[in-house]
Structure 1
């Protein structure tokens, strides 16, 4: 029996959007009928596919039984990519696109857990130095949906527990960060609403007395240089990049900053860590699960030499003599 056959919506005639968003789904793909209009019920006749346990379910009719405020936002979004919340407190990240030259729409909803999973606690034995607010640069990579945002949110919550001022620059804001038990607090900025772009958001944050800075994504040279400056000036900086592995995060960062000798020297001078996250669906008798594997690189003397020489392709040599359990962990959820 395949994962799709075991999907909870296999064979369902119609599903409830409210139940899908409030249940085990991680993603909901909505396909409004081409004939639906703003004057009409915006999701009248819509169909949906729901991802549960890493498996995307079959195309099924959907009952748009969510509250009117969410329906209104899906019909008239504030921008193509935005986030919102359900009455339960669960957060949603929404992307709305047009297809077929604007004839039809597709709506992609990422459903975030009601509480931030304590991922960092399970990784703490691999990254003990990050259990405190350690100045430096941590680069996280992985495909969409692998768990990068969840990992960063979990780290942010740990730093809030330590009383840190955490500044985030996101597009859009996903998890809402707050601590009721410590003096730590978060200032969350959204690109396009609170700051014009990631680079400006990072530069502005340096005047806000931050302890930790979290950057949703490094996309360009200006943002890369801003995060490097923040790490050099005594801040704990976390950011995501598009790369093919934990060593690739360093190679990608060097390519963004230009990779010249001066910038390589700057990068070699800060504490540097690369984390690559992969996720794969897994099946057990109890149902569908997701295995997330975290592969970690941290700088040492050998790695810093390779970075100064702009030889990121040799960083794997810095791991020689270590055991896999020292840099790799799989967590099932």
Structure 2
């Protein structure tokens, strides 16, 4: 997997293992299809007895696995049709630099703020964890303070640089995201990272933390700022929607949404959408008028805002991505040639 620079490894019964390279899954050459005992033996080799029991009880399990001197991997195991399948995602040993990732420059400013909610969003496999880890590394290299992460599992390992960094893993260090977040407010953090906003309670506590002068970073599996904010509100009963809109309007620092697109010549490149919590943006959120946000982003380039479709159009004009790949990922498709072209 490391040798072929694959991002993921799929292991399942009935097929040879498969590497995901440049978004395509390719079976490993000259390897026979796996039998149930093969994947079972691999799971038993990687898991402690307690973890294996949890896998059997729950049906799936997430954890991080390290191979010293080689790499770290985020691993998921699941039961399916009476057998076990495993999925490995390669994690770089060190968090990448924001400039190397090509993320918008405003991300550096967002992660140095003293308070507010910063959301990094995108579909599965879009590199959200990598972007957020790079933002934490930038904060750690430039600001003194306390960074507290709550992850499932812990992926990138952050050493203390200018900040003290504590990393808690759900399952081994704390029973749940809500429990860890509730305790976090007594642990004097300047920055709280929550690897994903998965439920109503976690979202509510994250908003409370952002209101209480903490910088809170998290992810959602949504594409685009409008969908992200609407999804957050929809987690709650209708009679709480206005309260959540008010909290979001008060706390939102920014939304950075990204998708990965095949690069011409091989590899992947990220296209981004950025929404910054300006006064006009806050007013639109407060009034439930998220349909106005694209216009505000289009007019907000001086504040670092950009629409995903504009980012795709720029990459297309530069010859970095193919027209059809841009078109398939555009949020608005009024022009059949390409977004914004």
Q: TM-score, normalised by structure 2?
A: 0.76
- 2:263 alignment partner, SS class: strand
Q: 2:68, 2:127 → 1: CA distance?
A: 24
Map of 2:38 onto structure 1:
none
Map of 1:137 onto structure 2:
117
Change (3 A) 1:61 1:93: farther
* 2:45 is aligned with 1:72: yes
Q: 1:149, 1:214 → 2: CA distance?
A: 11
Contact 1:300 1:318 in 2 (8 A): no
Q: 1:183, 1:98 → 2: CA distance?
A: 43
Map of 2:72 onto structure 1:
91
- 2:17 alignment partner, SS class: strand
Q: 1:198, 1:212 → 2: CA distance?
A: 15
Map of 1:173 onto structure 2:
154
Change (3 A) 1:202 1:131: closer
Q: Which of 195, 206, 227 does residue 185 from structure 2 map onto?
A: 206
Map of 1:299 onto structure 2:
277
Q: Which of 274, 278, 282 does residue 259 from structure 2 map onto?
A: 278
Change (3 A) 1:261 1:326: closer
Instruction: Count residues in correspondence.
Output: 291
Contact 2:16 2:31 in 1 (8 A): yes
* 2:22 is aligned with 1:53: yes
Q: 1:327, 1:159 → 2: CA distance?
A: 23
Q: Which of 64, 84, 109 does residue 88 from structure 2 map onto?
A: 109
Q: 1:147, 1:307 → 2: CA distance?
A: 27
* 2:153 is aligned with 1:195: no
Q: CA deviation at 1:172?
A: 1.1
Change (3 A) 1:209 1:292: same
Contact 1:138 1:237 in 2 (8 A): yes
Structure 2: which 5+ residue stretches go unaligned? 35-40, 56-60, 321-341
Q: 2:140, 2:42 → 1: CA distance?
A: 31
Structure 1: which 5+ residue stretches go unaligned? 1-19, 34-45
Q: Which of 116, 120, 134 does residue 154 from structure 1 map onto?
A: 134
Contact 1:224 1:257 in 2 (8 A): no
* 2:243 is aligned with 1:262: yes
Q: CA deviation at 1:203?
A: 1.4
Pairwise CA RMSD of aligned residues? 2.8
Q: Which of 94, 105, 108 does residue 125 from structure 1 map onto?
A: 105
Q: 1:166, 1:22 → 2: CA distance?
A: 33
- 2:268 alignment partner, SS class: strand
Change (3 A) 1:69 1:160: farther
Contact 1:273 1:298 in 2 (8 A): yes
Change (3 A) 1:311 1:321: closer
Change (3 A) 1:120 1:248: farther
Change (3 A) 1:297 1:326: closer
Higher helix share: 2
1:212-256 superposed Cα distances (whole Å, 9 cap, x missing partner) = 111111111111110001101111111111323122211111222
Q: 1:105, 1:52 → 2: CA distance?
A: 23
Q: 1:213, 1:235 → 2: CA distance?
A: 7
Q: TM-score, normalised by structure 1?
A: 0.78
Contact 2:8 2:87 in 1 (8 A): yes
